[in-house]
Structure 1
Amino acid sequence: MTPLPQLAGRPMVTDGGLETDLIYHHDVDLPDFAAYPLVDGEHGRELLLRYYEAYVEIARRAGAGVQLETPTWRASGDWGDRLGHSAADLRRINRESVAMLARLRDDLDPLLVSGCVGPRGDGYVAGEEASPDDAARYHAPQIEAFAEGGADLVSALTMTGVGEAIGIVRAARSAGLPVAISFTVELDGRLPSGATLAEAVAAVDADAAPDYFMVNCAHPGHIAPGLAGEGAWRSRIVGLRANASERSHEELDAATELDEGDPVALARAQDALRPLLPRLALIGGCCGTDARHVAAMWGLDKI
């Protein structure tokens, strides 16, 4: 298996806030914040490919590689049940999501296709701590579909606790795929479960070490407190995907309008974290961000 370029320090662009971009900039209705049903229609696939192509262009202009996350953050069993999709439907859509992005591989090298896994529950609320065994069983079908489709790795985004993260790593290892775990944090830099980033990274590494960690779905100002203090654990964080807004998760959940902040200010706030993250290589956005924000993060005026 080819080593992941970001682990060798290769700068890698990743994409932004897919769902908020589609909802607020393209008037797309996404029940339960699920973008994966768009893969099933020609218009939806065209819209998704235009979204991803903007990030390929950012990478080309920045002289970087690119890692694209499949639009499958909600394409797992419980969410599929809510949206009327069977296990067979989900397996097919997860495979086809990988195939859709693989078509862009000729446009840039390296271009990685990452199978995107989301939390079983709410991405902003911890809920009851998941059993690693239960989490592995739950996420295995989606991860196996990514492997069948030829994904380069799995990225688990917006993880709120340790148990589910461990289960996802176990499922990815069973499927033979590299895996990244991305935690989200609250205003104080702690996970919604209450664990510090240092505690969460150490706990997952002790049981089932992923290839690397990330932090996503939080403003850089919220991530910063979580990076305070010394420790080799910070070298395990290779990627950041920041929110545009400085609002809390609770405030964002209640909001009816998009807070997209200022792209340049967001880029500066994220740059301020670089001295704390010696292996930071993979950079993109999360909720409220689009290609403008990610371009700014890479020192580009516009896209």
Structure 2
Amino acid sequence: MSILSELLARHPKILAECAIAERLRRTPGITLHPTLFNTPLIYGPAEARAAMSSLYQEYLDAAGEADLPLLLTAPTWRLDAERIATAGVSDSINEDAVSYLLQIRDQYRSSSPVLVGALTGPKNDCYRPDLAPTAEESENFHSRQIEQLAETPADFLLSQTLPAVGEALGIARAMAATNKPYLISFCTGLDGKVLDGTPLPEAMDFIDQRVSRPPDGYFVNCTHPRFITANYGVGTLTRLIGIQANASSKDVTQLDASTATEADPVEDWASAMLDLHAKHQVPTLGGCCGTTLAHMAQLIQPKKK
């Protein structure tokens, strides 16, 4: 059993980080890289690196005080070989980003487990399944980064914001060829389906049946929990083990066009998350666009009505 599977088996409730890059994007004085986003901040400037580190520290502190396990992911989301070459940054940036977060984790002493994942993203637009590569193209495109990440001490691999099942399959094949536990996370729409129109149970089963080593589980992210609870009955999502949800219940395509942070009341968001947790026994709860420490705090200790 992998360290990730063991964590999932032992803990009915696990926290995952809320937005890092999106919070930094709205922090005065911090400018994100046009294609690599927050990753270059691991090298500086010092104030920007400290600001990013403080966000990870916030989540570590909150989970530690609640005595709940926590999943963190290194800022490697857009570090595929093509973007690295175009940006002209060091080829070691994937390894450096994992080392950066492991150092933060290892300096923190907590009685509750903290696992660090290494993150990948889609080749193209998260919300445009029509632009997604085929499974074969995806495996070829993503393999170099996945191989680099698999060689690091990261506890697991995670591919996030995937809009199409074909691209997810290619990534899963590349990850299955490594020695790391791994997770696949889809973007889903108002109908609870992957953005390419595939129902979640079908998407998860499709990949499970076509890889040499299935994922330890599946996530959804850049979505809202009500999109899932409204569209699937109890017992239909047994392979769904996590959600990192947007703060807003608007469709992701509407949010992508917004120039300001949009969010439902934090209490409403947390209530919807905990409904999903209870209805479908989804153990891992975290945030995506628009979420902050306040959202994690509500997952830990929701206010009484």
- Decide: shared fold, TM above 0.5: yes
| CA deviation vs aligned residue, 1:227-259 (integer Å, no higher than 9, x gap) | x13545x11111111100122222112111111
Is it true that 1:214 corresponds to 2:216 in the alignment? no
Partner of 2:92: 92
**SS of the residue 1:186 aligns to:** coil
1:102 alignment partner AA = L
Task: Judge which range, 25-34 or 216-225, deviates more.
Answer: 25-34
2:228 alignment partner AA = I
Unpaired runs of 5+ in structure 1? none
Partner of 2:3: 3
Is it true that 1:37 corresponds to 2:48 in the alignment? no
Partner of 2:117: 114
Partner of 1:284: 286
Structure 2 distance, partners of 1:240, 1:137, is 27
Partner of 2:229: 224
Partner of 2:102: 102
**SS of the residue 2:26 aligns to:** helix
Q: CA deviation at 1:27?
A: 4.8
**SS of the residue 1:168 aligns to:** helix
Q: CA deviation at 1:298?
A: 1.6
Residue 50 (structure 1) aligned to one of 45, 49, 54:
54
Structure 2 distance, partners of 1:150, 1:298, is 29
Residue 24 (structure 1) aligned to one of 22, 26, 37:
26
1:296 alignment partner AA = Q
Structure 1 distance, partners of 2:298, 2:190, is 23
Q: CA deviation at 1:21?
A: 0.6
| CA deviation vs aligned residue, 1:132-151 (integer Å, no higher than 9, x gap) | 23212221222222222211
Contact 1:219 1:246 (C-alpha < 8 Å) held by counterparts: yes
**Pairs within 5 Å for 1:176-191:** 176-191=179-194
Structure 1 distance, partners of 2:255, 2:29, is 18
Structure 1 distance, partners of 2:229, 2:36, is 27
Q: CA deviation at 1:9?
A: 3.8
RMSD: 2.0
Unpaired runs of 5+ in structure 2? none
Identity %: 31
TM-score with structure 2 setting the length: 0.89
Partner of 2:256: 253
Is it true that 1:68 corresponds to 2:69 in the alignment? no
**SS of the residue 1:127 aligns to:** helix
**SS of the residue 2:151 aligns to:** helix
Contact 2:267 2:302 (C-alpha < 8 Å) held by counterparts: no
Q: Structure 1 residues 92 and 33, CA, compared in 2 at 3 Å: closer, same or farther?
A: closer
| CA deviation vs aligned residue, 1:26-67 (integer Å, no higher than 9, x gap) | 453222472112122252332221110111111112211111
Q: CA deviation at 1:269?
A: 1.2
State how many pairs are aligned. 294
Q: Structure 1 residues 277 and 266, CA, compared in 2 at 3 Å: closer, same or farther?
A: same
Structure 2 distance, partners of 1:32, 1:261, is 29
**SS of the residue 1:294 aligns to:** helix
Structure 1 distance, partners of 2:85, 2:262, is 30
Q: Structure 1 residues 37 and 286, CA, compared in 2 at 3 Å: closer, same or farther?
A: same
Structure 2 distance, partners of 1:14, 1:275, is 17
Structure 2 distance, partners of 1:292, 1:69, is 19
1:235 alignment partner AA = T
| CA deviation vs aligned residue, 1:107-156 (integer Å, no higher than 9, x gap) | 23411110011111111111245322321222122222222221110111
